[in-house]
Structure 1
Amino acid sequence: MTSVTSDAFRSAMSHFATGVAVITARGTEGECGATISAFSSVSLDPLTLLICLHHKSATCRAIEETGKFGISILRSDQKDMAMHFAGRSEGKSFDQYCVRDENGHFFVKDALVQISVSVVETLRGGTHEIFLARPESIEFHQDQSSQPLVYFRGAFDLAA
């Protein structure tokens, strides 16, 4: 057995294939966005989902300020969107890649699914904030050929 180090843990977790989403929020620093794979449904009663963001990220700060954010679940052909929103928010273009709704949420254009949410609880998990949130609206942009973007072994890949 391998001893559990942060590198071994990261490697082990990279073997868990997951979908890819972009989280968007607007705070006092302006519009922010982050690519994540730490996203999951929690409960159907009450409707609850969770995301995890590094506590130092601008997107995390914006969500803490407003209690609201948008989730865009990416399609298999949106790897460029995943890369655009990965890393720091400074210098990211939002007008070119995003659409806005009447409630002030914004999302990646043509994502498989767009969900607007409100935070119901925040927990700290090491270096990350865990946001438990309630969906307020959902919009689908998919057809029979639509496939999700998948993250596996540290790389974006097409769904199987």
Structure 2
Amino acid sequence: MPDPVSRTHFRDAMARVCASVNVVTTNGSAGRGGFTATAMCSVTDEPPTLLVCMNSRSAQTGVFIENARFCVNVLTPDHQDLAGYFAGQRADMDSRYAAADWIDLPSGNQALADAIVSFDCHLIDRHLVGSHHIFIGEVVDIRSRKDGHALLYFDRGYAHVLGQAGSFGG
């Protein structure tokens, strides 16, 4: 048996994986919540479903579970400061939300007005694995724009797509 992979080795390897930067929001009976995440991906297209991972130590965990809905907002390079705010640079939720324009969705969630795409989701399942909750959401609505480029996170820093696939810069 090989030696187990260390936490540090795994984190260093995962830093080499490029991912979109997303602000995940919720709004409902438990109030508004939000956090920045790069751990988001599609699960299936029948029904349209995605997953997002959230640190279980986050003060936001209970809000997301009680509201049972969330919206994944894919950011642009213009949202780099907003990503920092929702990652914890601004502690209170009101000041995080005040830093951008939001659209009220029929579900009750709020979508970032100028996100590349926003996936409005109903929480259908969740799993606690190690230090993180995996929230699985059925997509009930999508807002998207035709222009702009996604903000990416790679090698512990922000990057963005400059043009067609194959071109990106930091």
Q: How far 1:61 moved relative to its partner?
A: 1.5
Q: For the Cα contact (< 8 Å) 2:30–2:66, is it kept in 1?
A: no
Gaps in structure 2 of 5+ consecutive residues? 162-167
Aligned length: 158
Which residue of structure 2 lines up, in the alignment, with residue 72 of structure 1? 73
Q: For the Cα contact (< 8 Å) 1:55–1:128, is it kept in 2?
A: yes
SS of the equivalent of 1:53 reads strand
Q: Structure 1, residues 106-143: CA drift from partner, whole Å, max 9, x if none?
A: 12231111111001111111011101110010011232
1:120 to 124, 128, 140: 124
Distance 1:3 1:120, change over 3 A: closer
SS of the equivalent of 2:88 reads coil
Q: What code does the residue aligned with 1:95 have?
A: A
**Root-mean-square deviation (Å):** 2.1
Which residue of structure 2 lines up, in the alignment, with residue 60 of structure 1? 61
Q: Structure 1, residues 78-109: CA drift from partner, whole Å, max 9, x if none?
A: 11111111127732421341412243111223
Which residue of structure 2 lines up, in the alignment, with residue 82 of structure 1? 83
Which residue of structure 2 lines up, in the alignment, with residue 101 of structure 1? 105
SS of the equivalent of 2:78 reads coil
SS of the equivalent of 1:69 reads strand
Q: Could you tell me how far apart the structure 1 residues matched to 2:36 and 2:130 are? A: 19
The TM-score normalised by the length of structure 2 is 0.84
Gaps in structure 1 of 5+ consecutive residues? none
Query: Runs (4+) of structure 1 moved beyond 4 Å?
Result: none
Q: What code does the residue aligned with 1:105 have?
A: N
Given the alignment of the two structures, is residue 32 of structure 1 paired with residue 33 of structure 2, yes or no? Answer: yes
Which residue of structure 2 lines up, in the alignment, with residue 17 of structure 1? 18
Q: How far 1:30 moved relative to its partner?
A: 3.0
Percent identity between the aligned chains? 28
Alignment of 1:42-53 (within 5 A): 42-53=43-54
Which residue of structure 2 lines up, in the alignment, with residue 148 of structure 1? 150
Q: For the Cα contact (< 8 Å) 1:116–1:137, is it kept in 2?
A: yes
Which residue of structure 1 lines up, in the alignment, with residue 143 of structure 2? 139
